[in-house]
Amino acid sequence: MTVAGDRAPGGEDAEQATRLQRARIARDLTAAVSGVPPDAMPDALCRACVALLPDVSGLSASLAGPDEGAGVVLFASDEVASLLAEMQFTLGEGPSAQALRLRAPVLAPDLTRGPDAGRWPLFAVQAVKAGVEAAFSVPLPGAAGPLGTLDLYRDTAGGMGDGQLRTALLVADALTLAVSVLDRASVDTSDVVTWLQSAESDREEIHQATGMIMVQLGVSAEEALLRLRARAFAQGTTATHVARAVIDGTTDIRHD
């Protein structure tokens, strides 16, 4: 199911409740990173998001890259959430990519069967194998389009209620603001790197490996990335793992 936006009931009482909830979420995220060093901010934000969204089994947040299917994983609450984020990058399909295209939340309450299982056949199979039966993706809103996505999963099938979805949307709004402010604040700090740099390092490895494959095979960047993803899928591993192997010379894509 794809949802175009907040479905909170109308009326002044509902609007007031939403404003209060928005303020509380913003306050919680601000408190979570207050006094935290830059390299610890992603984990601090992750813990705050987990506390705000207790009805899901795990979550991650990613920033979208300039090319479809590319991005930076800011944080993940556990290994399964991290695997789901990386899996979508590797496979080039899943709720996150669709949420970015539609600029709207994408909800898949049952990946084990029915329409949700058929929407992204590769992702659904791998997600269920990892113990995930429901996945949801909410865009991080930006002026020119989504900056990325907040991705949630459950280990049992089931949808999100209107209240749960509203909370996820408000968390995504507050997270977008936190990311923007923190990243701008870190730019002028000469003695520390931006807090996003550690998350970006994995994607730098993928970009470096893609460049190496381009040179080795004489192909475009798009085809080089496709071949890297194909190798990852064939080996049952992640694109980052294959990229590292290409860089250190233990994997040669030319033999595919």
Contact between 74 and 199 (Cβ < 8 Å): yes
User: Counting every residue, how long is the chain?
Assistant: 256
Is 170 within the bounds of a domain?
A: yes
**Residue among 89, 110, 107 nearest 165 (CA):** 107
213, 242: one domain: yes
Query: So what's the pLDDT on residue 193?
Result: 37
109, 28: one domain: yes
Query: So what's the pLDDT on residue 120?
Result: 93
Is 192 within the bounds of a domain?
A: no
Query: So what's the pLDDT on residue 34?
Result: 80
142, 170: one domain: yes
Domain boundary among 155, 187, 219: 187
Is 20 within the bounds of a domain?
A: yes
Domain containing 142 equals 12-187
Q: What is the pLDDT of residues 133-167, one digit of tens each?
A: 999 999 998 777 788 899 999 999 999 999 999 99
50, 148: one domain: yes
Contact between 105 and 165 (Cβ < 8 Å): yes
Domain boundary among 157, 187, 217: 187
102, 168: one domain: yes
- CATH number for 166: 3.30.450.40
Give 119's pLDDT tier (boundaries 50, 70, 90): very high
- CATH number for 202: 1.10.10
Query: So what's the pLDDT on residue 233?
Result: 61
CA gap 56, 7 in Å, rounded:
19
Quick one: average pLDDT of 71-75?
Answer: 81
Query: So what's the pLDDT on residue 81?
Result: 96
Query: So what's the pLDDT on residue 66?
Result: 60
CA gap 51, 28 in Å, rounded:
9
Is 7 within the bounds of a domain?
A: no
Query: So what's the pLDDT on residue 202?
Result: 61
170, 204: one domain: no
59, 142: one domain: yes
43, 162: one domain: yes
Query: So what's the pLDDT on residue 136?
Result: 97
What is the C-alpha R_g of the chain?
A: 19
Domain boundary among 129, 163, 187: 187
Q: What are phi and psi of 7, to 5 degrees?
A: -110, 30
Is 124 within the bounds of a domain?
A: yes
Q: What is the pLDDT of residues 5-45, one digit of tens each?
A: 334 445 678 788 888 888 889 888 888 888 877 778 888 89
Is 2 within the bounds of a domain?
A: no
Query: So what's the pLDDT on residue 99?
Result: 93
**Residue among 174, 164, 169 nearest 26 (CA):** 174
124, 239: one domain: no
Strands annotated E in 103-226: 106-108, 134-140, 148-154
35, 91: one domain: yes
Is the confidence at residue 1, as pLDDT, over 70? no
CA gap 56, 48 in Å, rounded:
14
Looking at 3-17, 67-81, 95-109, 230-244, which range is the least confident one?
3-17
Total of domains in the chain: 2
Is 81 within the bounds of a domain?
A: yes
145, 249: one domain: no
Looking at 27-41, 193-207, 237-251, which range is the least confident one?
193-207
79, 178: one domain: yes
In the chain, pLDDT over 90 holds for what percent of residues? 35
Q: What is the pLDDT of residues 123-138, one digit of tens each?
A: 999 999 999 999 999 9
**Residue among 133, 123, 129 nearest 96 (CA):** 123
The mean pLDDT value of the chain amounts to 81
pTM over 0.85: no
DSSP code, position 192: S
Is 164 within the bounds of a domain?
A: yes
